[in-house]
A and B are shown apart, each in its own frame.
Chain A
Amino acid sequence: MTISSVDVIFVISNIVTRYYQHLEVNNLAREQFQTLSEPMYYILLSLIDKCCGVDIMKRAEELSQGRIAVGPGTLYTLLARFQEAGIINEAEISGRKRTYIISDYGKELLKVEYNRLHLMLNDGEVIMGGL
């Protein structure tokens, strides 16, 4: 292989790496957590107390009165993303079992979401209340 083709490979791999970094940092950490989806909201609510993955699934279902079911794959991905963004912390590790708890930043985020939902409810009440 000549030096020029090695250069080309190097430049292209740099572009690809930067693209992935851009995807991860911008899309996931910022945009995704600006407004929480229902499963995200209930997972964070479940993590007000220390909780392991399996318990989170059960607690989210209980808190939402069976309305929200978080699949184990989705939960695993979300927990990893929450942790990367500093929204939750790892509280305990026992073998393969990991326990998590919401961080101060996570509580702030949850509060913002709670207030947003509350405002929406009030606005709805003004229009829909008399119907």
Chain B
Amino acid sequence: MKNTFKKFFIFKYTECDAFKEYLEEMALKGWVLKDINTYLTFERSEPEQLIYSVEVFEKASVYDTRLEDNAKEYVDYCLEAGWKFICSVGKIHVFVAIDENAVAIETDETIKYQTIKKSMLKQNAFQWVVLPVILTFNTVTQYLGNFEFFITNYMTIFTAFIVALYYIITGSQIISFSIWCKRAKQNLEKGQKLPSFNQKDLKKRNIIRMIPFIVSLAALIGMGGLSFLNADYYSGWFMFVIMGSIILITGVSTWFQRSKLSREANIGFQIILGVGAAGFIMILCVALVIGFSHENAKVLVSGTTLSIVGRSEIPLTLEDTGIRLQKYRDTDKDVQRTVFAKCTSYYDTTSEQLSGEQAGITYSVFESPYKFIVDKYVRSKTSGRFNKLYKQGDASQWGANRVFIHAEESYYNIVVVYDDYVFLYRSDKQLTEAMIGTIREKLHLK
């Protein structure tokens, strides 16, 4: 028969009374709380009626995994008043009554309210204020900066999904806390106790709180799998790395909590762990970008120059645009695909430093069954601060709906819009009618 039992359980400072009820119910079932870290650890005992007290000790830090000096003094006071200390995590301290007539640890509801409110605001300032700003900034930058990458990549869609989920969770936390504060003030004015939940509500809340974790994990696995299926190995491996990092960080932080190190050591290790994890993910991402940036990649070294050169089969080459074959060329094809859109990009270039001449073409076909996505893509390519010079062109020779051209002496950009796909072409030479015919034929443009 197992003598210990572990349970993943989340509760907020405003739910300490409900958690106390939960512990008392567990004691009646023969399970007494021994420790709190990532999990609650219960130990088997004789079923008994115990009186618990779960308190927020403001002077403790969220980084504390053991009692610091000021908390020891607080625990001494509680012991003298008839409360035995059981365990603590961060600001939360759990006591059990050794004297059934012991005076409650917190006898002033106003002070209790101030402590809970201040601790909640302090602990959540980063999550409620700073993090949403950073996440919004990153997502909007991705969306506005490179819409094509955003909509054709499961990695960015997953990020946007997590941000949306984060907003829902954070929003509901802020609303729930504001309601609690309002009710608490009303109760205090009437001389009543602070509002509390019962343990049944807390159990329900715990189930609801698990949903975002499960949904995020399912999205991570699902979108990672889809990325691999679509041969988007970069996004696939990226999500694999994220998943590995989450498991690793959870494992390491559990180890830290169980090791009961000092507050300074915990802060130091968390900084090292955070910086280390961020650095590791960045290095891995750079390695993934290099690894998957070129199909059939080859590395060429000439003097001090190092080039990564692709050898992909592409439908339209430099020769098709009237440029003679160069000795060194770099061709690449890249396909990004999600359920929303697909973008196939190609380029064919020669390296000036290697061959003495430079020429290149870049073109892509963006497809989406959704008209608003096609329209947004066209807008992102032909309007805005950086695309002011685009002018409407003759669509008839392309058999297209619309054509946008930005052409200068040594610069030629064209965006050709069809019903559910868009052809984009960039070169340093203007297209002739014959070349347009070749392009339409080779890329099967209507």
Contacts and interface: CB of A to CB of B under 8 A. Distances in A.
A77 B115 contact: yes
B115 to A, nearest CB: 7
A78 B111 contact: yes
A32 to B, nearest CB: 9
B394 interface: no
A74 to B, nearest CB: 4
Q: Could you say which of B107, B122, B137 has the most chain A C-beta atoms within 10 Å of its C-beta?
A: B107
Interface string B57-82: 11100000000010011101110110
A72 B93 CA distance: 13
A78 B111 CA distance: 8
Nearest to A15: B129
Given A73-B57, A73-B74, A96-B69, A39 B80 contact: no
A9 B81 CA distance: 44
A116 to B, nearest CB: 19
A9 B106 contact: no
A54 interface: yes
A74 B107 contact: yes
A105 interface: no
Given A77-B58, A80-B59, A16 B129 contact: yes
A8 B137 contact: yes
Nearest to A61: B103
B55 interface: yes
B106 A73 contact: yes
B118 A77 contact: no
B218 interface: no
A76 interface: yes
Contacts of A4: 137
Contacts of A98: 73
Interface in B34-93: 55, 57-59, 69, 72-74, 76-78, 80-81, 83
Contact of A76 (B74, B130, B133): B74
A9 B133 contact: yes
A73 to B, nearest CB: 4
A39 B133 contact: no
B107 A39 contact: yes
A72 B74 contact: yes
A83 to B, nearest CB: 12
Given A71-B103, A77-B111, A12 B133 contact: yes
A71 B81 contact: yes
Nearest to A55: B80
Specify the main secondary structure of chain A where it touches its partner. helix
Interface residues of B, number: 34
B80 A9 contact: no
A45 interface: no
A12 B130 contact: yes
B347 to A, nearest CB: 28
A75 B121 CA distance: 23
A18 to B, nearest CB: 12
A20 interface: yes
Contact of B81 (A12, A13, A20, A72): A72
Contacts of A69: 103, 107
Nearest to A1: B134
B137 A72 contact: no
A86 B114 CA distance: 20
Contacts of B57: 73
A71 B105 contact: yes
Contacts of A119: none
Given A71-B106, A73-B57, A77-B58, A96 B81 contact: no
A76 B226 CA distance: 56
B122 A20 contact: yes
Interface string B117-148: 01001100100011001100100000000000
Contacts of A76: 73-74, 77
B443 interface: no
A21 B110 CA distance: 19
A71 to B, nearest CB: 4
Interface of A: 1, 4-5, 8-9, 12-13, 16, 20, 23, 27-28, 37, 39, 53-54, 57, 69-78, 80, 96-98
Interface of B: 55, 57-59, 69, 72-74, 76-78, 80-81, 83, 103-108, 110-112, 114-115, 118, 121-122, 125, 129-130, 133-134, 137
Closest 8 CB pairs of A and B: A72-B77, A71-B107, A73-B105, A54-B80, A69-B103, A72-B81, A74-B108, A73-B106
